[in-house]
Chain A
C-alpha cells in the first residue's frame, strides 16, 4: 500500500554552502500526482533540493511537508535513486534482500520477480558491482521500488546510460507513477523531460524560476532563464 505524499509543500527553504547560498528561499507546492521534472542549468541546486526532500541534507532554514506532515514523519514512505548507484559488495539478489529483509524472509520469490521486472532475472546471483552501469542502475531502481514508495526521487538516474536501460527505467518510472507513486525526477535531458514530465520545476541560481505544466514550459517558457536554457545557451 503506497502512502500518499501529496501535497508536497516547501516553504522558505534555504541552504548555504560555504558563503554561497545554493538554495535561496525556495517556496514550492507540488500538488499534481504526475511526474514532476526538476530542470535547470548546472549549479542551479536541483540535486540539493532533491536531497533536502529526501532528508539527506538539512537546510539552514525553511520547512518541508509531505501530505501535511513534517518530512521526518514521511521519510519511510519515499525512496531515491542516485546518479551513481551504490551497491553492496554482494550479489544482485542479496542487494535486494538487504534492502527488504522482511520480504526476503517471508516472500523471497518477490525479490526474483523484482529483478525480472528490471530484466536482471538472469543476473540474480552475479556480484552486483560486476554488472554494467545500466544494469546497476536498474538494480538500484528495483531496490528503491521494493518498499512501494509513495514518493520516488530520481537524481539524474539515467545520465550516461545505454539507451535500452534508459528506455526500461523510463517505462518503469511511468508505470510506478500510474500505480500511484509520485515521481520527482531531476534531469538535464530535455528529450527525457519531454517524454516523461507532466510538470516542470525550473531552477536557476538556487531559486524556483518557473513551475508549470510540461507542455506550457516547452512551448512557451515564461522566463528569460528558461528560454536561454531551452535554447541551449551556456548559463553562468
Chain B
C-alpha cells in the first residue's frame, strides 16, 4: 500500500524522472509507429490488391513475423549495430534510434498483416463494382484506404499497443541507460528487480492507463464505424 501511495504521489507530483521516461517511451513508440505505418500500410495494400509469384509465401512469412520473439529481434539489431557489426560505424547502439529500429522491425509485420487482411476483404467486396465503374489504379487504392480508414486506424493502434509495451528488444539495443534510453517498460523491469516499487508501480499504472486508452479508442472506433455501417 505504501508503494502504491508513493506511486500516485510521483504521478500527481509530476515527478521529473517519471515524466522524462514517459516522454521518451511515447516518442520512441510514436516514431516507430510512424515509420512502421509508412512502410507497412503500402506493403499490406500492395499484397492485398496485386497478384504476383511468391505472394502467398510473402503473406505466410509476414504472418509468421508477427509472432517474432522481441528478444530475438533485439539480439539481431544488437548484432547489426554493435561495434563489430555491419552497421557498427553508425554508432547507434544504446541510443533511442536503435530502440526505434528494433520496434519498427517488430511492429511493421503487424501493420502489414492486419492492413493486408482489411484491404483484401474490401478489394474482394468492391472488385466487380469497381471494374464495372471503370475504377482502377490509384483511384481504387485511394478508395480502399479511405473506406477502410476506421479498420486501418485500429490496425495502427494495435501497432502502438505493441510498441509501447515492448521490453525485450529495447532493453538489449537501448541498454536501459538513465536519462538516455530508459523507457517505461525497461524501468519497470529494473526498478522491480531493485525493490524500488514506487517508481515501477507509478510507471505501471501509466502504462496500464495508456493500454486502456488505446483499447478504448479501438473499441470506440469500431463501434462508431459499425453504427454508421462504415465497418
Contacts and interface: CB of A to CB of B under 8 A. Distances in A.
Nearest to B130: A86
Contacts of B228: 127, 130
A79 B131 CA distance: 10
Contact of A86 (B129, B134, B229, B230): B129
B2 interface: no
Interface residues of B, number: 15
B132 A127 contact: no
Contact of B128 (A56, A98, A143): A56
B148 to A, nearest CB: 8
B131 A129 contact: no
A82 B131 CA distance: 12
B217 to A, nearest CB: 20
A130 B134 CA distance: 25
B15 interface: no
Interface residues of A, number: 20
Given A88-B143, A88-B147, A54 B132 contact: yes
Given A86-B126, A90-B147, A129-B230, 16 more contacts: A54-B132, A75-B134, A76-B134, A79-B132, A80-B132, A82-B128, A82-B132, A86-B125, A89-B229, A89-B231, A98-B143, A127-B228, A129-B229, A130-B229, A143-B133, A144-B132
Enumerate the 9 nearest inter-chain pairs by beta-carbon distance, A residue then B residue, closest first.
A129-B229, A86-B129, A89-B230, A89-B147, A130-B229, A80-B132, A127-B228, A127-B229, A99-B133
Interface of B: 125-126, 128-129, 131-135, 143, 147, 228-231
